Structure 1
Amino acid sequence: MSLQQARLSMRDWLVTDGHVWLHLAKTLLAAFIAMSIAMRLELPQPRVAMTTTFVLMQPFSGMVLAKSVYRFAGTALGMIAALALGAVFVQQPELHALALTIWVAACTALAVRYRHFRWYGFVLAGYTAALIGIPAVTDPNSLLIATLTRGAEVMLGIVCSSVVSALVFPRHASATLTQSLDARRMRFAAFAADVLRGRLSRIARERRFADFVDEIVGFEATRGFATYESPAMRQGNGKLAQLNSAFMDACARLHALDQSMKRLRASDALAPFFEELAQNFESEALKEHLERYKATLPKRLRDAQRALPHTDHATQLDFTTSAELLYRFIADTIRYLSIPNHRAAPRYDARTSRFVVVATFMRTGIVIAATAWFWIVTAWPSGGYAVIGATLACALSSALARPSKFIAQMAAGAALAIVIGYAYLCRVYPAIDGLALLCAMLAPPLAAGAFLAMRPSSAGYGIGFCVFFCLLAAPDNRIVYDPGLLLNNGVAVLVAMLGAAIACAVIVPPRTRWLVGKTLAQLRAQAALACEGKLAGLGERFHSGTHDLMSQLRALLTRRSREHRHALLWMLVTLEVGQAMIDLRRDSRALHTACIPDALRIAWSTSLARVLRDIAVLFRTPDSRTLRRAIASVVASIVIAEDMLERTRDERSRRREVQRVLACLHFVRTALVDPDAPFDAHR
């Protein structure tokens, strides 16, 4: 092999498998530094500092720093809660356990409500209070010392993880973010060209729009923790947020244009325009080509419309609607491709159904309360570890669609940790002399666990192994060689986790049809938000909320199943109708009605209010009755808008304003009467 080939092979390895080995090495380095410092400072449980590093370490520096910030806040809040509960319910183990259960369940429910790295802060606030407070149930005199030492150990793990991630061969999410932006632009351009040429089947188009949902939500999460990496990323955070918002708008416009090509009869007249636009999307300088195309488009569209039969009113209206959608798609695509200005960053509206939050609270509370009750009633010596195991299981699995499966994997990893920990306690630790040899002997099992934790399919096994190997069998400053204690505590953890897995599979699991239906109802209600919400910033709130809810449904439902496609159809129709209602409200506000008689102006205001009300009711309670009423309201508004259009025939600018309103109404009507729409299952 030549020197150049060797360099290319090394470079390829570094960007693939090399990242995996680098992450493993940094994780072990942070864990061993935290353990060493904790032993040097004579903290009672260096294992807690080690556990912190395994939970914190992530591939990118920004992820670790963001996680550290929220872990620091969550740990501090958990320490305060543990002290407060221990002081209020001193020598009252039943009330103390009940209050602690409510606190942990509330924190876990809030973690589900506030996701991403805020999730981790709330989770830490819950199970830090449990880690400190559970031993204090039977020994309240040790509460203050346990709180201070546990806080010091956790903070030490946070500092070590952050320092190693930021200084030792750091990987920055900002570079990945830039690459993902370029790749997303190319994918969007290729997809838009295929849509405009009608090359894709309906199923293929729907799946591609669904993939865009994952990209939007993933980009938002990456943008959130990339701001922790450098001041430049914090300054550019607003621009990135605007880019993601503009991408959501462009995707919605493309879907609306695709639907108009299917439903409206003017598609043949606009076919040359679609072909030219597709060619522009295949060009290198896409933004410049689109700007030139947009500048000449209005006149060319007017010329093409004059060639249509003037007596065919339906075709004329179809052409006006399709032309308006085409123009708005081009304008929003140019905005997406442009460098954003320095206005305030749009807020990404992450939404979680309150029913999901309540179900998480109930499920977590029942599991922890049952475990704590059994511990107190039976005076089980290792019952405290059982409660801690149940708390960790419920907390770490709270954001997953299949928590029972993840907890079962954690239990399997914990079982392996008990076996290997027993061997280390009996055979390895007595034969070790010195910190260097201790780290060398701990490296193989911990590296294997960290490797499993990096892969989504085996993350539960790896997390369970690393966390419980450290908690149950990692060395302390004063090692207690008691294999019986290790086995008893390990059995308690296993029993609690298996019970938690069963409970999470039985007590309102996240994939329950009723619970999924509530999330779907909240997704549909986004269209009602478009009809009723304040117009300032409404577009950003509408699109981000809709995409976030669909991302949750995609995690809950089996891909390519009938339920998944049904939810996807609702997302698409919510996007097209909701965006049309926002456009309708904005265009109606911009109408100049000075030349319109008072009676017609009043009739229009009344009709518009009825349309907004009936569309909102339709999406909240879709059935044949609300569908017919919404269609009737839209048709009545179209009649009034056409009358206003006739009154503004001699004023070109006023006529253009009314045409925009009429195009929105006509597009909404075509969406409501579409036989493929999911409004009425019995239609």
Structure 2
Amino acid sequence: MKNLNGALRDPLVRATAFRLTLAAMIAMVVATGLGLENPWWAAMATWMIGQPPRGLLLERSVAQFVGTLLGAAAGVAIAFAGNPYLELTCLALWLAFCCGLANAMRHQRAYGAALAGLTASVVVTLTTGTGISPLNFACARVADTLIGIGASLAVGFLLQPRARSQSLSARSANVLANGLRLVGMALQEHQTDLIARESAFLSALAAISAGAEDAAAGSFRARRRLRPLNTMFASLLDLIVVARMIRKASESRSLTEQADLPALRAELERAADVLEQTGELAPLPALGVVERTAAAHAELKAILGTFAAELREVAQSHGALADPSLIVPTSRMRPQPDLTGLKRAMARGFLAIATSALVWTVTGWEAGRFLVLGASIFTVLFATLDQPLPLVRQGLIGGTVAALAAVAWRLDIVPFAELSWLSLLLALPLFCVASLLQASRATVFAGLTFNMFFAVMARPVDMLPSSPQTVVAGAAMLIVGVVISDFFYRWVLPMDVDRRRRHIETSIRREIAFVSLRAGTPWAERHLSRLRHLVLEMVMRARADTAVIGDAIAALSLGHIAMRLGQIVHQEAPAADGDDIARDCLRRLANPIEDPAGCGREILDSTQAGLPEKTASTIRLAHLMAGELVDHPRVFTSAAAA
């Protein structure tokens, strides 16, 4: 009730709820007028799409149609197997595939994958063992979806005000300016003094990166900016890491020799100020300082060269944001799916559907089809989420209330109403209240579940009489199906943010190992690009925990160190001792590390003895690597030892 009162007081929530209800009613009336057998499915399409901003509404509608079309085709193919046991086995496999796909994908692609699984389940469960033609039923669902999409788009584009949010370019410029200042600080200030600023900056960077695709939805021009934005963020990450490496490498030098770093910091801060004032990035003065410093200190030439290259990349990418016609190199952050989470999602999808299907086939209950349908809905819809349990709980509450309301509706209201339009009119207040809940972020799935479950069980425009046993059994089985889904998410194969983060850490260790194994080859850069993406994914789930964010930056630093060591081994001609040190470091990173702190101390001990001056660069990298292992042992501890 508290959430409902809050929704009623919020004008944006009220407006969204009005559009949701209007689109659903238009869809149901049109589908009824066209003589479709189950017109409430058209309304369900409008609730699934919702009323997001216009660009996102357009892309979600496309995903809804593509997912429904693929799911309908899969459902028909499965239903034509002819054997109920084979059909349900194939359905469980298809749901497992869709759960894995939804888990690996993001944004509207994940939504489309979930719809493909859900639609197939609807086709199979509601036609198996009946005289209903799977092909006709599937075609009707596609038609319902098209009607729902049309209603949602019409209402959204006619009644929804244009969003007035800060443009992606403006937000990225603000982040870039803050990033340049942070890079300047990282050149001089110790990590303990930087951690709070680094945490805030990287959290903002991760948030913009995660929301960039949705912000660009519906605009080809905005989508063309995603690649330069991706490249700019990757280069900013690298600049922060390289700046830390420069600071650590210069700590042993005299104050006189360090005098160039304050000058470089001043130029970076000046460039940030100009960027905020004019929107233009002028890196040349800072690059000039870098070149002078490299010329004066040969031992820093390689690492300063990397710094200059990253700064040029940032400038080029920023220019491409303003002018998308400029050519930007291949994306420097490659999405890497959580393979462990993907496998768990597939296993959860198969087991949940197989369990409910087994109960149906063993008992032979007619209402058992709703058991499978209920288990399918939430198992596949929430496969992509880090923290699904609170939403499953919302769905269970909304579904239970909807089931009770639907039973009362079929047994008491429908016989009294007699006319379909009167029944729909009487149901309107219920849809309005549920839409208010759906429009509120805190109760979105409670409202969505009520609308969907009530529509499919109450069938407000179907005036044919229903037996009490059929109505009660169908409603009960649908809810028990949701309970099965909840059971698998809660107890059998749980998922939450901490588990997802641990999976990401495992992937990070794997990518560092691959960078080390393939250092000095083109494949190493591919693995480093995956590592950058994983670092941002980890930061997103850090919840502003500075220790976790520090671990993430240390992981990227280790990736860069491995890249540089590989270049020394494969592209240069170091002294024999330096070559041995580099190979030893790469070997350690390529294998599981049970005691990172101990490994770091071993590296420090082995490089303390007097070695030729030619090995100074290699020893410096080895010391940097050892420092990261000693300071951040948790993230580098091998899975076997964790």
TM range (shorter): 0.7 to 0.9
Corresponding residue for residue 408 of structure 1: 393
Conserved? CA contact 1:539–1:579, under 8 Å:
no
Q: Displacement of 1:38 after TM fit?
A: 0.6
Say which of 199, 221, 234 aligns to 1:232.
221
Measure, in 2, the Cα distance between the counterparts of 1:543 and 1:173.
Answer: 33
Corresponding residue for residue 40 of structure 1: 33
Bigger drift between 165-174 and 372-381 goes to 165-174
Aligned CA distance change for structure 1 residues 54 and 252 (closer, same or farther; 3 Å): same
Instruction: List per-residue Cα deviations over 1:490-539 (Å, max 9, x = no partner).
Output: 22222221232122111121249887544321112222333327855865
Corresponding residue for residue 5 of structure 2: none
Conserved? CA contact 2:519–2:566, under 8 Å:
no
User: Which letter does structure 1 place at the counterpart of 2:555?
Assistant: T
Conserved? CA contact 2:235–2:313, under 8 Å:
yes
Say which of 214, 220, 238 aligns to 1:252.
238
Is 1:28–2:21 an aligned residue pair?
A: yes
Measure, in 2, the Cα distance between the counterparts of 1:416 and 1:267.
Answer: 73
Aligned CA distance change for structure 1 residues 626 and 186 (closer, same or farther; 3 Å): closer
Give the percent of matched residue pairs that are identical in Structure 1 and Structure 2: 21
Q: Displacement of 1:48 after TM fit?
A: 0.9
Is 1:571–2:552 an aligned residue pair?
A: yes
Conserved? CA contact 2:50–2:152, under 8 Å:
yes
Is 1:643–2:635 an aligned residue pair?
A: no
Conserved? CA contact 1:635–1:669, under 8 Å:
no
Is 1:105–2:96 an aligned residue pair?
A: yes
Aligned CA distance change for structure 1 residues 428 and 362 (closer, same or farther; 3 Å): same
Measure, in 2, the Cα distance between the counterparts of 1:329 and 1:147.
Answer: 53
TM-score by length of 1: 0.77
Q: Displacement of 1:87 after TM fit?
A: 1.9
Say which of 367, 383, 403 aligns to 2:368.
383
Measure, in 2, the Cα distance between the counterparts of 1:265 and 1:466.
Answer: 67
Corresponding residue for residue 677 of structure 1: 632
Instruction: List per-residue Cα deviations over 1:151-197 (Å, max 9, x = no partner).
Output: 22223223333444345546469964344324433443554566567
SS in 2 for 1:524: helix
SS in 2 for 1:45: coil
Conserved? CA contact 1:526–1:546, under 8 Å:
no
Measure, in 1, the Cα distance between the counterparts of 2:27 and 2:369.
Answer: 25
Conserved? CA contact 2:123–2:137, under 8 Å:
yes
TM-score by length of 2: 0.82
Measure, in 2, the Cα distance between the counterparts of 1:431 and 1:395.
Answer: 36
Is 1:393–2:384 an aligned residue pair?
A: no
Conserved? CA contact 2:98–2:116, under 8 Å:
yes
Aligned CA distance change for structure 1 residues 534 and 501 (closer, same or farther; 3 Å): farther
User: Which letter does structure 1 place at the counterpart of 2:288?
Assistant: A
Say which of 111, 129, 141 aligns to 1:120.
111
Is 1:273–2:267 an aligned residue pair?
A: no
SS in 1 for 2:92: helix
Give ranges in structure 2 of 5+ residues lacking alignment. Answer: 1-8
Measure, in 2, the Cα distance between the counterparts of 1:443 and 1:294.
Answer: 65
- How many residues in Structure 1 have an aligned counterpart in Structure 2? 614
Measure, in 2, the Cα distance between the counterparts of 1:474 and 1:677.
Answer: 58
Alignment of 1:42-441 (within 5 A): 42-88=35-81, 90=82, 92-139=83-130, 142-166=133-157, 168-169=159-160, 171=162, 176-189=167-180, 191-192=182-183, 195=186, 198=189, 201-208=193-200, 210-212=202-204, 214-222=206-214, 226=217, 229-234=218-223, 237=224, 239-258=225-244, 260-261=246-247, 264-266=251-253, 268=255, 269-270=258-259, 272-273=262-263, 275-277=265-267, 279-280=269-270, 283-285=273-275, 290-299=283-292, 302=295, 327=308, 330-339=311-320, 341-343=326-328, 346=331, 348-422=333-407, 424-425=409-410, 426-427=412-413, 430-431=416-417, 441=426
User: Which letter does structure 1 place at the counterpart of 2:111?
Assistant: Y
Corresponding residue for residue 492 of structure 1: 477
Conserved? CA contact 2:24–2:148, under 8 Å:
yes
User: Which letter does structure 1 place at the counterpart of 2:92?
Assistant: T
Corresponding residue for residue 6 of structure 2: none
SS in 2 for 1:35: helix
Measure, in 2, the Cα distance between the counterparts of 1:113 and 1:173.
Answer: 31
Aligned CA distance change for structure 1 residues 551 and 148 (closer, same or farther; 3 Å): same
Q: Displacement of 1:78 after TM fit?
A: 1.8
Instruction: List per-residue Cα deviations over 1:4-58 (Å, max 9, x = no partner).
Output: xxxxxxxxxxxx9665444333323322222122111111111111111111124
Measure, in 1, the Cα distance between the counterparts of 2:79 and 2:231.
Answer: 47
Corresponding residue for residue 589 of structure 2: 615
Conserved? CA contact 1:418–1:486, under 8 Å:
no
Q: Displacement of 1:609 after TM fit?
A: 5.3
Q: Displacement of 1:211 after TM fit?
A: 0.6
Q: Displacement of 1:643 after TM fit?
A: 2.8
Corresponding residue for residue 8 of structure 1: none
Q: Displacement of 1:342 after TM fit?
A: 2.1
Instruction: List per-residue Cα deviations over 1:242-287 (Å, max 9, x = no partner).
Output: 2222222212322442465367334952453255246415523465
Q: Displacement of 1:67 after TM fit?
A: 2.4
Measure, in 2, the Cα distance between the counterparts of 1:93 and 1:221.
Answer: 41
Instruction: List per-residue Cα deviations over 1:128-170 (Å, max 9, x = no partner).
Output: 1111111232226532332222222223223333444345546
Corresponding residue for residue 3 of structure 2: none
Corresponding residue for residue 4 of structure 2: none
Aligned CA distance change for structure 1 residues 124 and 631 (closer, same or farther; 3 Å): farther
Give ranges in structure 1 of 5+ residues lacking alignment. Answer: 1-15, 306-315, 594-599, 645-661
Conserved? CA contact 1:56–1:67, under 8 Å:
yes
Aligned CA distance change for structure 1 residues 206 and 625 (closer, same or farther; 3 Å): same
Q: Displacement of 1:410 after TM fit?
A: 0.3
Q: Displacement of 1:325 after TM fit?
A: 6.7
Q: Displacement of 1:428 after TM fit?
A: 8.0
Aligned CA distance change for structure 1 residues 231 and 336 (closer, same or farther; 3 Å): closer
Corresponding residue for residue 452 of structure 2: 467
Measure, in 2, the Cα distance between the counterparts of 1:20 and 1:345.
Answer: 41
Conserved? CA contact 1:617–1:626, under 8 Å:
no
SS in 1 for 2:221: helix
Bigger drift between 537-546 and 63-72 goes to 537-546
Aligned CA distance change for structure 1 residues 347 and 445 (closer, same or farther; 3 Å): farther
SS in 2 for 1:214: helix
User: Which letter does structure 2 place at the counterpart of 1:386?
Assistant: L
Q: Displacement of 1:296 after TM fit?
A: 4.3
Measure, in 2, the Cα distance between the counterparts of 1:327 and 1:342.
Answer: 19
Q: Displacement of 1:105 after TM fit?
A: 1.8
